[in-house]
Chain A
């Protein structure tokens, strides 16, 4: 705490920490994952997503496919996971919309649509934001496709886009 001791010539005032650039929520109020290899062992997911591919992990020993991707198989606890590419097309199983009560960083998105989507040809029902159609124009069974999009600090995330 040596830095907290006022030094001669500083006028007795200790400069406070610099104001953080709050044009984005602080990390602990930010929803998106910390994506780089310095923070997560799943950085490959985001690297692939940046290239337009949706992936997850599968255990080569017992073929357990997991969502979200993992570093340990929940079935056999093996630690050698392999990456597989997932289909990008799916159909809506259920949906709703947020018309009020959005969290920080999502208030300007209101109203927005979210839904559960059955990916084509694989036993995986993913939750996500659905864009490209207002909530009252959406229906169960409609086709959507996965698309990546940019989020703050050079990160990337995924969402569904309604097919015309």
Chain B
């Protein structure tokens, strides 16, 4: 195999996430402005490639061909690779993975990966219609298969099979909301959600309550990736991409198998750890895809942080909090930050970079982090995407 070049994230930024009075192109402009501000060494003419993570602009913004649109909004004119990456909830990580592949292979030297999603529409039913298209639309979506009832069934089975409780699920949400309180770009930055308060919120899809679900969010985020020899021109604290893994083996819900054993995530993790030459115990922090509180619980298990079935206790006893075995979702997670589909995976990478550079508020700073994992699931947890980063400098 051809020798691959080493690649690092050398900086990044996110817009404010939330219910934004801003269109898709306006969010892309904001991401560009934030990126150039966060990475002072960045010169637009050095960016040879742009990867645009966007899940459903056709639905939410009635706009296709968004890669050149994003380039124009951000003031970029890529000359090597320009493309959109769509992998529903993992569209952002997909953009980073593509940029990584391009640079590692030598086809690109400096690439930007941006994620943009505009999800809040005047009609929530219309927005929910778009979300139901992530599933197998004519066979599952037609019955009303949006994400909440699917992950509610996952939670129901996990409670039945392992005794997981609503309180343990609320503990995940309370932790991530608390972290979001120290992230000004989070959708729920100034909202306090105690476990008691979370357990009183209305049911959306039983057993999931409002606080167990990430929200419809507008937002954008962008990172710069560079080849090894160019990294020092941008930062002293690069986040080296050391491993990656991805796995999918079904789409229609009939082919899901067990709802509670995420074997696809185990396989993606095996590949990510194998390629990074580390094991789960080496990780200092992880950005896990907590689209629902139950997701984070099962992700602890599938990653091997705790035995199968013990994820609820792992959340409730503080093992995934500051001072625990590993810090999970110090950014505030999807639960606290909101989940603009295309932007989420990029914002997680921004958090890893900022954590490595010790640039986040003390309330969420992981002590001296060296290894971080970013995970996104998409759809009905039928795709798992992972990247492993090592702190440089």
Is the CB–CB distance between A103 and B125 below 8 Å? Answer: yes
Given A68-B136, A103-B129, A94-B142 contact (CB < 8 Å): no
B156 CB contact (under 8 Å) in A25, A112, A140:
A140
Cβ-closest chain B residue relative to A124: B254
Is A125 an interface position by the 8 A CB rule?
Answer: yes
Instruction: Report if A126 contacts B (CB, 8 A).
Output: yes
Q: How far is the CA of A159 from the CA of B128 in the complex (A)?
A: 21
**Cβ of A114 and Cβ of B254 under 8 Å apart?**
no
In the assembled complex, which residues on chain A have CB atoms less than 8 Å from the CB atom of B254? Answer: 67-68, 124-127
Chain A hits for B137, CB < 8 A: 31
Partner of A103, one of B146, B150, B154, B206: B146
Chain B proximity of A126: nearest CB distance (Å): 5
| CA of A135 to CA of B205, assembled, Å | 10
Determine the main DSSP class of A at the interface with B.
mixed
Interface residue? A109 (CB, 8 A): yes
B129 near A104: Cβ-Cβ < 8 Å: yes
User: Which residues from A are CB-within-8-Å of B253?
Assistant: 116, 127
Q: Are B160 and A102 in contact (CB under 8 A)?
A: no
Contact flags A95-116 to B (C-beta < 8 A → 1, else 0): 1111111111111010010111
Total contacts A-B at CB 8 Å:
112
B106 CB within 8 Å of chain A: no
Please indicate the chain A residues that have their CB under 8 angstroms from the CB of B259 in the complex. 94, 116
List residues of B (349-371) whose CB comes within 8 Å of A's CBs. none
Q: Is B204 an interface residue (CB 8 A)?
A: yes
A103 touches B157 (CB 8 A): no
Contact present for B144 and A114 (CB under 8 Å): yes
Does A32 lie within 8 Å of B148, measured CB to CB? no
- Chain B: interface residue count, which band? 35 or more
Residues of chain B within 8 A (CB-CB) of A125 are 254, 256
Flag if B204 contacts A100 (CB, 8 Å): yes
**CB-based nearest A residue for B251:** A68
- What 0/1 pattern do residues 25 to 45 of B give for CB contact below 8 A with A? 000000000000000000000
CA distance A33 to B142 in the complex (A): 8
Which of B126, B142, B160, B207 is A31 in contact with, Cβ under 8 Å? B142
* A135 and B206 contact, Cβ closer than 8 Å, known pairs A33-B138, A68-B139, A116-B153: yes
Residue of A33, A103, A135 touching B144 (CB-CB under 8 A): A103
A104 to B146 CA separation, bound complex (whole angstroms): 12
Q: Mark B256-269, 1 if CB is under 8 A from A, else 0.
A: 10010000000000
Which residues of the partner chain A approach B256 to less than 8 Å between Cβ atoms?
A: 116, 125
Task: Give me the interface of B with A, judged by CB distance under 8 Å.
Answer: 123-126, 128-129, 131-132, 136-146, 148-150, 152-154, 156-157, 160, 202-208, 252-256, 259
